[in-house]
Amino acid sequence: MKFLIITGMSGAGKTRAADVLEDTDYYCVDNMPAALLPKLAEFCMGAGGRYEKVALVTDIRDAGGADGIFDALEELRRLGCEYEILFMEADTSTLIKRYKETRRPHPLYAVAGSIENAVQLEALRLARLRDNADYIIDTSRLTLGRLQARILTLLGGAPRRTLQVSVISFGFKYGIPAEADLVFDVRFLPNPFYVEALRSKTGMDPEVYDYVFSHEVAGAFMDRLGALMEFLLPQYVEEGKHMLTVAVGCTGGRHRSVAVARALTERISALGHAAELVNRDFDK
């Protein structure tokens, strides 16, 4: 069994690290009291192989502080449980900036009197733990994607290389989907609504789909949109993004947007990503 202790400076990305490891089949527990580490280790070791890789996040918030963590690690050794320590850190200015942005109090703020003093006090208290770490990651200048790559380089595992993409067709008259990451307006395309035989149908019907793409401008647009997706999606994957919502809108969300969203979903699937089509407004 692989047992990993994730610890380090508050605000340095311990929870982010756990999220990355969870995607590589680690069983992760955040903010684990150090005193419970041996009990959890006993449980995992006796689970008959159900928990092969376990990562536990613990830090200065623990009631016993760094000494309590060391006491727990000594108990793990007595149990015969092998473990490694991943220590997360960042420079003082980065940690101060992160705390100002989140407006969360540092765990040691009450005793230190300022964020800067709290960071320095925490570094002092965790110095022994850092000295005993198997891996140290400085997240000061790491994006989420680079953090993911750094963790996987150190600890192994296969990163996710695909996105879960949701393609939503919608009508502008009903509002842009709040969850959209990218929005495309296809109201410039010829409108099947003005063709009597197509008005009651939707972009999921072959007649409407064929009508939309019988116009050269629709095919040219899809070629450019497909090329954009081919460029963008790997960039999102590289940055560690796992989910993306692409919204395609026309006036009522019934004809043009549905046809284009349908075609886009097929293009994205062909690129090797999991794509789901959601027609939000086509039955309104």
pLDDT tens digits for range 50-71? 888 899 898 877 666 778 888 8
Q: Does residue 65 or residue 73 have the better pLDDT?
A: 73
User: H/E element holding 244?
Assistant: strand 243-250
* Beta-strand pair 83-89/2-8: parallel
Left if phi > 0, otherwise alpha if psi is -120 to 50, otherwise beta: which for 156? left
**Rounded mean pLDDT, 107-118:** 88
> Which tens digit of pLDDT belongs to each residue from 224-254?
999 999 999 998 887 777 789 999 999 999 9
Taking residue 98's Cβ as centre, other Cβ atoms within 10 Å add up to 18
Q: Name which of 115-124, 187-196, 219-228 the model is least confident about.
A: 115-124
Residue keyed to tokens 């609504």: 193
What structural domains does the chain harbor?
Answer: 2-155 (3.40.50.300), 164-279 (no CATH)
Beta 182-185 vs 243-250: how paired, if at all?
parallel
pLDDT confidence of residue 14 = 93
For residue 34, pLDDT beyond 90? no
Q: Please state the rounded mean pLDDT for residues 7-32.
A: 89
Structure tokens at 167: 């393609």
What is the pLDDT of the chain when averaged over all its residues?
Answer: 89
Confidence of residue 23 (pLDDT cuts 50, 70, 90): confident
Distances (CA, A) of 200 to 60, 255, 282: 63, 9, 10
Whole-Å CA distances, 105 to 25, 132, 140, 174, 201:
32, 27, 19, 41, 56
